[in-house]
Amino acid sequence: MKKKTDISQVRFKYKKDILDIKSSSPDPFKQFNKWMKEAIRNKVFEPTAMSLSTVNKKNKISNRIVLLKGLEKNNFVFYTNLKSRKSNELKENKNVAAVFWWPQIGKQVRIEGYVKIVKKKDADKYFSTRSRKSQISAWASNQSSVLKDRDDLYKRIKIIKKRFENKDVIRPIFWSGYLINPFLFEFWQARKNRLHDRIVYKKINQRKWKKYRLNP
């Protein structure tokens, strides 16, 4: 008989870094960039992936993974279909939360903030850097709507390919990006015996952040 896995006993022993409130940067964006570079340097899988939580007008939460595509003027940037569930919820409630989790280096960053849509010229610029196949997919996918059959998606792709044959694929008006303007950061560093380091940055004004430590 196959032995049943007891998930309550699945644990990982952390041994490495510390996060000190004195040596950490007074600027949370600089601290984030430092950790992101470390994640990339250590070849963390999808280091720019973040778990994004949104809330609709009925206060129901939904969550998904999106990719960070830039840090512009202290805003976190991601792109999506404007008809998607996340976009519809962002129209109803501008508040979001996001988490970056880098298990190989035992680090996590949590942010809370509100969103605004990126400028059209910035969305156009980013869209032009995507592969042609990804550009066509953006046109073909009615993101978050019911798909009766995958063949229907392939049919739409063929139509879009023909439409843009021998010319550049322009950005669809229903596809753009969002800027997350954070008002809170939490940096989490794994430590031995679950005595983790947690440091919070809370926004006081446009130039000042209050930094303090939390119990693990």
Residues marked as catalytic: 194
DSSP-based three-state secondary structure for 21: coil
Quote the distance between the C-alpha of residue 46 and its chain's center: 11
Calpha distance 25→210 (Å, rounded): 12
Closest CA to 62 of 81, 82, 47, 84: 84
Provide the β-strand partners of residue 49.
67
**Largest distance between two CA atoms of the chain:** 62
Overall size of the chain counted in residues: 216
φ/ψ of residue 204, rounded to 5 = -95, -45
Calpha distance 192→151 (Å, rounded): 51
Judging by beta carbons within 10 Å of its beta carbon (0-12, 13-18, 19+), is residue 55 exposed, middle or buried? middle
